[in-house]
């Protein structure tokens, strides 16, 4: 088996993978980790948290040392006042109150020790510190309340995502399924990308799509597309019939909209059908990035439509869809994705090319494939994705293949090379 090396050249942001695994079942054993990601990043975060938690005590000790080492007309009140303010957003209410009490006691004790407790400056300093400590308690309560509200909002958003775009089961009709939704915004859970999988009498039917627009309007369109797909997938005898039902559903939605959205509220989509017990897949592509077929030997085939078709919901009448059939042998994986993947750019403005990045690679299963893609895109963009990304992978297991095949570890450790690049070395 050949050696494997991953390098990220500074400036280009484009990862380079070396030798291709030559043994079946070998793939990306661990997610690539660069710089302070992975274990190094966790250590940095833990160290930062420990420092922040220790900072109020350090300020109090520093204030006491400064006050004792300087003449009485010098004061360390800024250090004492800063301690409860720093504690407020990071400590509990009890911790914030305790910090304020310790600060007030330290100031009072120092003034008694200096014999200046009755002076106006000392009284003003004490009142200032107590007032700041009281404000710190108020800040703590506001931060805690906001944190609870944000957590509640995230739970609601996550529940909405699961309701609108439910995650499919890992196994459907003997096929291995994996799906990922990566929002461009860190606090967003759902946008205009969509996927759905359904087992029907005609086979396992899938859809991956991208609704034009953002915000609640896009989420509404996503709900309409997925709802129409689930109904049509059960009732229609052909994949072309499913596409027509989606077209009509989006046309009805467009009739309710005003302004530009009434004319440009379209959706790009790929519909797929995998008949039960047959080694084929049928596709209808409506203006969407072409899916990829990854074979058991590392080969890859972009599944390009023979004719360019308009997206769904353009309002130009029924498009004469014609499903195209492709071989889908055992051990192969079908990858469907939205343009958030193929249009992800690095610092030099180079688009991510999933076909070039995946050709010749072997993965234990669909989930491992999607995890590797997401990590590779983050490396490519430097973590600065500008568009949502929906990924759906369907694997047809080979005879005797386990749900998750074991794989060798390619990425062993990470260090910074002296030549100014970041390398993962086996």
Would you give per-residue pLDDT tens digits along the chain (426 residues)? 333 333 333 333 433 343 334 333 333 433 333 333 444 455 777 788 788 888 899 999 988 998 888 887 788 888 888 899 889 888 989 999 999 999 999 988 888 888 887 788 888 888 888 999 999 999 988 988 887 777 766 666 666 666 667 788 999 999 999 999 887 665 555 667 889 999 999 899 999 999 876 666 677 788 888 889 999 999 999 999 999 999 888 888 766 655 545 545 688 999 999 999 899 999 999 989 999 999 999 999 999 888 878 888 876 666 678 889 999 999 999 999 999 898 888 888 899 999 999 999 999 899 999 999 999 998 898 876 667 889 999 999 987 655 544 333 322 222 333 333 333 333
Please check whether residue 129 is in contact with residue 147, taking contact to mean a CB–CB distance below 8 angstroms: no
**Four-point Cα dihedral 210, 215, 220, 221, nearest 10:** -30
Which tokens sit at 200?
């029907």
What pLDDT shows up at residue 21?
40
What pLDDT shows up at residue 43?
72
Rounded Cα gap, residues 353 and 348, in angstroms: 14
Please check whether residue 181 is in contact with residue 193, taking contact to mean a CB–CB distance below 8 angstroms: yes
Distances (CA, A) of 268 to 92, 97, 221, 250: 49, 56, 12, 11
What pLDDT shows up at residue 396?
93
Rounded Cα gap, residues 110 and 289, in angstroms: 71
Q: For 256, what's the count of Cα atoms within 13 Å in the CB-facing half-sphere?
A: 8
What pLDDT shows up at residue 312?
87
Instruction: Kindly write down the DSSP assignment for every residue of 241-256, as one continuous string.
Output: HHHHHHHHHHHHHHHT
Distances (CA, A) of 204 to 60, 162, 225, 278: 65, 20, 17, 11
φ and ψ at 179, to 5 degrees?
Answer: -140, 145
What pLDDT shows up at residue 162?
64
Please check whether residue 66 is in contact with residue 79, taking contact to mean a CB–CB distance below 8 angstroms: yes
Contacts of 127 (CB under 8 A, 6+ apart): none
What pLDDT shows up at residue 399?
73
Pairing of strands 175-182, 389-395: antiparallel
Instruction: Kindly write down the DSSP assignment for every residue of 320-344, as one continuous string.
Output: ----EEEE--TT-EEEEE-HHHHT-
R_g over Cα of the chain: 29
DSSP-assigned letter for residue 307:
S
Q: For 139, what's the count of Cα atoms within 13 Å in the CB-facing half-sphere?
A: 18
Angle of CA points 146, 148, 151, to nearest 5°: 110
Rounded Cα gap, residues 197 and 169, in angstroms: 9
Please check whether residue 26 is in contact with residue 362, taking contact to mean a CB–CB distance below 8 angstroms: yes
- Rounded to 10°, the helix 120-164/215-235 angle is 30
What pLDDT shows up at residue 33?
36
Length of the chain equals 426
Rounded Cα gap, residues 24 and 28, in angstroms: 12
Rounded Cα gap, residues 207 and 230, in angstroms: 10
Rounded Cα gap, residues 136 and 145, in angstroms: 14
Rounded Cα gap, residues 81 and 335, in angstroms: 57
């Amino acid at each position: 088996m050949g050696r494997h090396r991953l390098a990220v050249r500074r400036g280009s942001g484009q990862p380079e993978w070396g030798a291709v695994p030559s043994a079946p079942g070998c793939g990306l054993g661990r997610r690539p980790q660069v710089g302070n990601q992975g274990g190094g990043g966790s250590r940095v975060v833990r160290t930062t948290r420990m420092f922040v938690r220790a900072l109020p005590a350090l300020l109090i000790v520093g204030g006491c040392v400064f006050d004792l080492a300087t003449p009485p007309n010098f004061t360390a009140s800024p250090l004492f006042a800063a301690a409860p303010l720093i504690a407020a957003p990071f400590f509990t209410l009890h911790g914030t109150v305790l910090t304020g009490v310790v600060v007030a006691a330290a100031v009072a004790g120092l003034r008694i020790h200096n014999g200046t407790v009755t002076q106006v400056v000392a009284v003003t300093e004490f009142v200032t510190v107590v007032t700041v400590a009281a404000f710190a308690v108020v800040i703590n309560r506001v931060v805690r309340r906001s944190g609870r509200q944000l957590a509640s909002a995230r739970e609601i958003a996550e529940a909405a995502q699961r309701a609108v775009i439910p995650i499919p089961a890992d196994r459907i009709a003997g096929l291995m399924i994996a799906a990922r939704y990566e929002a461009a915004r860190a606090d967003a859970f759902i946008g205009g990308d969509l996927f759905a999988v359904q087992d029907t009498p005609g086979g396992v039917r899938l859809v991956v799509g991208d609704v034009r627009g953002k915000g609640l309007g896009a989420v509404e369109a996503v709900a309409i597309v997925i709802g129409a797909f689930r109904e049509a997938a059960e009732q229609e005898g052909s994949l072309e019939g499913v596409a027509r039902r989606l077209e009509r559903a989006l046309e009805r939605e467009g009739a309710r909209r005003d302004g530009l959205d009434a004319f440009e509220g379209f959706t790009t989509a790929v519909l797929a059908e995998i008949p039960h017990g047959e080694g084929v897949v049928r596709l209808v592509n409506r203006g969407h990035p072409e899916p990829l077929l990854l074979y058991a030997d590392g080969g890859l085939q972009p599944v390009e439509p023979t004719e360019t078709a308009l997206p769904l919901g353009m309002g130009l009448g029924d498009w004469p869809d014609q499903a195209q059939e492709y071989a889908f042998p055992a051990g192969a994986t079908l990858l469907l994705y939205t343009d958030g993947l193929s249009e992800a750019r690095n610092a030099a403005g180079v688009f991510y090319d999933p076909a070039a990045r995946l050709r010749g690679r072997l993965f234990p299963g669909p989930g491992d494939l999607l995890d590797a893609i997401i990590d590779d895109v983050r490396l490519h963009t430097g973590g600065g994705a500008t568009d949502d990304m929906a990924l759906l992978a369907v694997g047809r297991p080979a005879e005797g293949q386990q749900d998750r095949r074991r794989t060798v570890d390619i990425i062993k450790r990470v260090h910074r090379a002296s030549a100014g690049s970041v390398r993962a070395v086996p």
